[in-house]
Structure 1
Amino acid sequence: MAVDKRACVVVLGDVGRSPRMQYHALSLAKEGYSVDIVGYSGSAPHSDLLFSPKISFHYMNPPPSFISIFPQFITYFLKTLWQTWFLVWTLFWISKPNFYLVQNPPSIPTLPVCWFIARVNRTQLAIDWHNYGYTIMGLTLGPSHLLTRFSHFIEAFFGRFAGINMCVTKAMSQDLQKNWGVCATTLYDRPAEIFRPVSLSEKHELFLKLGKDYHEFSSSRPDDTLLTERFADGQVRLRLDRPGLLVSSTSWTEDEDFSILLDALDEYELNRSVNSSDYPPLLCVITGKGPLKNYYGKLIQAKEWQHVEICTPWLEPEDYPKLIASADLGVSLHTSSSGLDLPMKIVDMFGCGLPVCAVGYDCLKELVTDGKNGMIFKTAGDLADKLLAWFHGFPQNNEENRQLYRRQLEVYQSLRWHSEWCKVALPLLSPTN
C-alpha cells in the first residue's frame, strides 16, 4: 500500500520572493509529496510550481493598513496577532502533513504557531534556517531593543523543539550548535536548472524585449539592441562597441549598502572620462523590490554620469535568469546581518556561469574563492579597482582572463539544487524518520 506523503511549506512572506522555499516545494513534489504552500501572494512564483498538480497555494490576508497609524510597538503587536490568527486558521484547515517545513526568518509568529500546530497534529516540525530574525531586526531597531531581544528568545527557545533542522552554511550550523544546542544539517543553496548559460540569440531576444520598456537597451535600428545586432541572414553578434553589462539584484534592505556601488561607479566614470580608449561605458542593471529602493533611486537620479547608466527594472521570473546569463560581471553587496548566510544571488549567477564581485565577510569563502570564481572586495575603492581591471580593454583585450573565471564555474554549474536536495534533505524529511 502506497504511503500518502504530504508536506506543508510555510513562508511568512512573499512566496514568489522566497526561491529556496520554492525549490524545496518543487523537490518535494518531484519525490512524490503533495505540497501545501502557506504564505503571502505578491510576486509570481516559479511557473513549475503554478502548473504542478502536486502543489497547492494557500495565501494569507495581509494585515490591514490602518494599524500603521499606531506607535511602532503597538503596530508590531497587532500585526503579530493578525498573522497568528490567519496562520493558525490556515494550518488547521490543511490536511495533516508528514511535516511542516518552516522558513526562518521571520521567527514571529511562525515558529511558535507551527510548533503548536505540529504538536496538536503529532507531526514533525522542520526549520530551514536562512538567517537569524533577531539580527535582521537589530539592523533597524538596535541589538538591545526589546523586540530584538524577544525575537532572539523565540528563535533560541523554539528552535530547540524542531525535530529537523537545516541551514545554509557550515558556519551557521556551528553557531546553532554552539549557542543554542540546535543540531542543523547544512544544505547549501544550489542553482535551479533555469539558471544556465544562454545562446546569443536568446540574449538578443531578451534585449529586444527589455528595449520596449527600458530605453537603455534599445537601438535606433529596430532589429538591433545596444548590445547585439542581427544581420540579414538572421545571424546575431555581440556589438564591438557595446557597453560592459554589470548586473546586481537586491531586496533593497539595510544589509546591502548600495552607496558602495555608486561610489565605485563614480570612480569608474572618472577613469573612463580620462582614458576613454581603455574602458567601455557601463550599463548597470539592478533588479529587485524593497523598502530602500526609492531612497537609492533618488541618489541614482542625482548622478550626472556620461559613461555609466543604471537601470532598475522588475523582471518577469523567466527573464531574470536570462539577464544574469547575458551579463559580463555580477555584483553582490549582501553583507548578512548575522555574518552566517550566503547570498542566493551569487548562487544564481554562478549557475549562469557569471563571475561575481562580492563584498567580503567571514563565511563567504564557503561560496566564493577570490581570484578563481569571483573577486572579493571590502570598500568602494576596492570595488572600483576590480571593475577597472575587469573591463580594461573590453570587449576584446583581456578576454582570456575573463574566460578563465568562467571556466572555473563550469564545475559549479554541474551541481544543481535537486540532486543536492535529494542527497541532504530527502533522508531527513523521509516519512520513515
Structure 2
Amino acid sequence: MPRSRADLLGTERNINLPIRLHIASGESIARSSLSCLSGSSGRVVLEYGCLAHGDYLCLFLDEAYEFVLLLAVMFLVIVAGVLLSLAISIPVLIFISPFRYGRNIPTSPGFPSKFKEPIKEPPSVQIVVLGDIGRSPRMQYHALSFAKHGGIVSIIGHAVVAQVVCQLRKTNLVIDWHNFGYSILALKLGDGHPMVKINKSHESTFGRFSSAHFCVSNAMARRLRDDLKIITPILVLHDRPQSCFQPFRNDEQKYAFLSSLSETAEFVGDLRAGTCRLLVSSTSWTPDEDFSILIDALCRYSAIASTRNLSLPRLGVIITGKGPQQQMYLSRIAKLRAQGKLENVKIKTAWLSLEEYAQLLASVSLGVCLHTSSSGVDLPMKVVDMFGAGLPVVGWNKYEAWPELVSQGVNGLGFGSTDELVTHLVDLFGGTEEKLSLLRQGALQESERRWDDEWDPVAGKLFGLPYNP
C-alpha cells in the first residue's frame, strides 16, 4: 500500500509555487506523481524516485538549498586554503633559498684543504626594465658593460616583484632614471589630472626604497632630491653612444654608403657637385615632438633659396622612425609639395636597421632634433648618437637639461622657434659653410668619449668592479 502524504513528507506543508522537483536514487527506480492540494492556492507536482525494495526517498526544498549552499562553502574553503598556502609557501621559499652573498666560496683544486685559496666568485646584477628593453639602448648598455667586466647579468621585467625580493633577500636595488613616468602621462592628461598626481606619488614613494640611483642629467638629480625627496645616493650617468656610431674616415666611404641606400642614392651626384646637403631627423612621430616646426622651416628655407639667396644648396631631408602621427605629417608634406612650397627641399622617410642608421648619421651634413622633453630634465638619445657619428646638431633647446648635452656654437645650435631654425639653416649652409665646419669639429671631439668612459668610473665603481682610469 502506498504511504500517505504525511508519511512521505513528514508533515503538512502548504506549497504554492509551481515547482517540479525530481529526485532519483538506487538501481531500479519507479516513478509516481503526487498532487498536493491541501491548503494550497497553486499546484505543485512532486516527482520522486523510490528504491525497488519499497523504501521511499524524499528531500525537501529547504534541504536541497542547504545542500547547494554547503557545496559552495566547501568550494570557497578549498580555494581560500590554496591561496593561503601559496601566500605562506612563496615567502618561505624565498627565505630558505641560498642568499647571493651567503654561499660557500669555492676553492682552488689540487691543494690541501687548509692551503686552498678561495676563488673569487664573479659579481652578479639583475637589470629590471620598465617597458620594452628593445627600445631602451641605455639598459642594453648597462647589461653589456657589466658582462664585459665578467659579471653575471639577468634581465627582469617585473619591477614590483623585484622590489619585494630585494627587501626580503637584502639585495641592493638601483634605479636608473631616464625620465619621469608622470611627466609623460601629463602630456596626454594634463598636469592637474588625478592619475598624474597618483603616478607621481607612486614614483616618489617607491623610489625611496632604492639603495642608489642613476640619472641622465644633473638637472634630473636636482629634481629627484628637491621634488621627489629622494635621500639615497644619486649618481649622474650621462648617456654616451654605442660603439657602432662612428664617423666615416673620408668622403668616399660616405658616398659608397649613400649610393647603396635606396632613400639616398638619388642625392649622391648633387652631393659630389656641392649643390645639395643632406639633413637627418629621427622621430617617433608622437605629440611630444612638434614636427610642424621643421616642416615650416623647410618651406621658408625653400622660399629664401628661390628668391633672396640663390646660392643656398638644395636640401635632402631623411626622416627615420615610425609612429602614430606619421601619416598626418606625410599628407601635409605631400600637399605642400603640390603647392610648390618645397621646390628646393626633398623629404623622404626611411625605416633602417641600427647599423644603417649609424652609417646614415655619419654620412649627412646636419642632424635635427625636435625633442621637447616632457619633464625638462631628460636628454634625447638621438643627439648622443649623432655626436657619436661626428654629426653636428640643431635642436629644440627650451628645457633645463639641454646645455648639459649641447655646447652652443661648439658642437651644435639650439632653437626655440621656427624663425631661429630657419636662421640657423641659412647661416650654416650659406657661403663658405665655415660655421658648419666648426660645429663638425666639435661633434667629432664629442664622439671620442664613449659609454665605457662614462660607465666605468660611475656605475662600475658603485658595483665594485675593477676600474683603471
Same topology, TM > 0.5 = yes
1:146 deviates by 2.4
Q: Does 1:150 align with 2:198?
A: yes
Q: Secondary structure at the match of 2:354?
A: coil
Cross-structure match for 2:235: 185
- The one-letter code of the counterpart of 2:235 is T
Cross-structure match for 2:335: 302
Cross-structure match for 2:351: 314
Q: Secondary structure at the match of 1:12?
A: coil
1:300 deviates by 2.3
2:167 counterpart (119, 139, 146): 119
1:207–1:218 CA contact under 8 A, matched in 2: yes
1:197 counterpart (247, 250, 254): 247
- The one-letter code of the counterpart of 1:187 is L
Q: Does 1:328 align with 2:365?
A: yes
1:204–1:228 CA contact under 8 A, matched in 2: no
Residues 292-324 of structure 1: CA distance to partner in whole angstroms, max 9, x if unpaired? 223323222322122211122111111111111
1:227 deviates by 1.9
- The one-letter code of the counterpart of 1:127 is I
1:38 deviates by 4.0
Residues 21-67 of structure 1: CA distance to partner in whole angstroms, max 9, x if unpaired? 1111111111111222345xxxxxxxxxxxxxxxxxxxxxxxxxxxx
What is the 5 A alignment of 1:56-75?
A: none
1:275 deviates by 4.4
Cross-structure match for 2:428: 390
- The one-letter code of the counterpart of 1:270 is A
- The TM-score normalised by the length of structure 2 is 0.69
Judge which range, 131-140 or 2-11, deviates more: 2-11
- The one-letter code of the counterpart of 2:213 is N
Instruction: Measure, in 2, the Cα distance between the counterparts of 1:134 and 1:170.
Output: 19
1:125 deviates by 1.2
- The one-letter code of the counterpart of 1:428 is L
2:391–2:444 CA contact under 8 A, matched in 1: no
- The one-letter code of the counterpart of 2:335 is A
Structure 1 residue runs without a partner (length 5+): 40-86, 88-109, 220-225, 230-237
Q: 1:21 to 1:131 in 2, by over 3 A?
A: same
1:346 deviates by 1.1
1:135 deviates by 0.4
- The one-letter code of the counterpart of 2:256 is E
Q: 1:356 to 1:431 in 2, by over 3 A?
A: closer
Structure (1 or 2) with the larger CA radius of gyration: 2
1:359 counterpart (396, 399, 407): 396
Structure 2 residue runs without a partner (length 5+): 1-118
1:210 counterpart (254, 258, 261): 261
- The one-letter code of the counterpart of 1:316 is S
- The TM-score normalised by the length of structure 1 is 0.74
Judge which range, 285-294 or 170-179, deviates more: 285-294
Q: Secondary structure at the match of 2:238?
A: coil
Instruction: Measure, in 1, the Cα distance between the counterparts of 2:124 and 2:328.
Output: 43
Q: Secondary structure at the match of 1:282?
A: strand
1:272–1:307 CA contact under 8 A, matched in 2: yes
- The one-letter code of the counterpart of 2:300 is E
Q: 1:411 to 1:431 in 2, by over 3 A?
A: closer
1:176 deviates by 0.7
Residues 317-358 of structure 1: CA distance to partner in whole angstroms, max 9, x if unpaired? 111111111110111111111100111111111121111111
Cross-structure match for 2:276: 243
Q: Secondary structure at the match of 1:23?
A: helix
1:202 deviates by 3.0
Q: Secondary structure at the match of 1:362?
A: coil
- The one-letter code of the counterpart of 2:185 is M
Residues 137-188 of structure 1: CA distance to partner in whole angstroms, max 9, x if unpaired? 0000111222211210110001111112010011110111112232411001
Instruction: Measure, in 2, the Cα distance between the counterparts of 1:150 and 1:203.
Output: 50
Cross-structure match for 2:214: 166
Cross-structure match for 2:380: 343
Count of residue correspondences: 340
Residues 351-395 of structure 1: CA distance to partner in whole angstroms, max 9, x if unpaired? 2111111111222111112122111111011101111111114xx
1:431 deviates by 7.8
- The one-letter code of the counterpart of 1:278 is S
Q: Which has the higher contact order (CA 8 A, sep 6+)?
A: 1
2:258–2:363 CA contact under 8 A, matched in 1: no
Judge which range, 413-422 or 191-200, deviates more: 191-200
Instruction: Measure, in 1, the Cα distance between the counterparts of 2:265 and 2:130.
Output: 39
Q: Does 1:283 align with 2:324?
A: no
1:373 counterpart (403, 407, 411): 411
- The one-letter code of the counterpart of 1:189 is D
Cross-structure match for 2:224: 176
- The one-letter code of the counterpart of 1:15 is I
What is the 5 A alignment of 1:267-278?
A: 267-275=300-308, 277-278=310-311
Cross-structure match for 1:420: 454
Q: Does 1:139 align with 2:187?
A: yes
2:178–2:215 CA contact under 8 A, matched in 1: yes
1:192–1:418 CA contact under 8 A, matched in 2: no
Q: Does 1:36 align with 2:84?
A: no
Instruction: Measure, in 1, the Cα distance between the counterparts of 2:332 and 2:171.
Output: 50
Q: Secondary structure at the match of 2:173?
A: strand
Instruction: Measure, in 2, the Cα distance between the counterparts of 1:291 and 1:119.
Output: 40
Instruction: Measure, in 2, the Cα distance between the counterparts of 1:161 and 1:38.
Output: 18
2:305–2:313 CA contact under 8 A, matched in 1: yes
Q: Secondary structure at the match of 1:312?
A: strand
1:241 deviates by 4.2
Instruction: Measure, in 2, the Cα distance between the counterparts of 1:203 and 1:242.
Output: 16
Instruction: Measure, in 2, the Cα distance between the counterparts of 1:299 and 1:34.
Output: 50
Q: Secondary structure at the match of 1:302?
A: helix
Residues 60-103 of structure 1: CA distance to partner in whole angstroms, max 9, x if unpaired? xxxxxxxxxxxxxxxxxxxxxxxxxxx3xxxxxxxxxxxxxxxx
Residues 248-298 of structure 1: CA distance to partner in whole angstroms, max 9, x if unpaired? 112222221111111111111111221463111111111122332233232
- The one-letter code of the counterpart of 1:390 is L
1:6 deviates by 2.2
Instruction: Measure, in 1, the Cα distance between the counterparts of 2:396 and 2:333.
Output: 20
Q: Does 1:263 align with 2:313?
A: no
Q: 1:293 to 1:8 in 2, by over 3 A?
A: farther
| Identity percentage of aligned residues | 43
2:283–2:322 CA contact under 8 A, matched in 1: yes
Instruction: Measure, in 2, the Cα distance between the counterparts of 1:228 and 1:126.
Output: 52
1:7 deviates by 1.9
1:227–1:242 CA contact under 8 A, matched in 2: no
